[in-house]
Amino acid sequence: MNVIGKAVKVLDACDVTKVGIEGKVVYETAKMLVISSNSRKKMVEKMGTKLLVEGKLVEGASLLGRLDRRIEKN
């Protein structure tokens, strides 16, 4: 699943300070998402995070790894 450019909201996270962050995903690494929220960029770990991605519940662990390798698997 490609989440870059999609609207997301952090529903649950190991780091409770990340819960509630909303915005668009502007970049991702193998283990992190960068979310643009209120003109700021916030980094959120994928592992241990539950996200609402355009109305769908997504486990951050399912997004682990580089985007190009995740697409190759599907």
Q: What are the tens digits of pLDDT across the range 46-61?
A: 999 999 999 999 999 9
Domain coordinates of the chain in residue numbers? 7-73
Cβ neighbours of residue 58 under 8 Å, at least 6 residues apart? 1, 3, 50, 51, 52
24-49 confidence digits (pLDDT tens): 999 999 999 999 998 899 999 999 99
**The CATH homologous superfamily of the domain defined by 7-73:** Ribonuclease P/MRP, subunit p29 (2.30.30.210)
Q: How far is CA 63 from the centre of its chain?
A: 8
Question: Residue 61 and residue 33: Cα distance in Å, rounded?
Answer: 12
The pLDDT value recorded for residue 74 is 57
**Residue type, position 21, single letter:** I
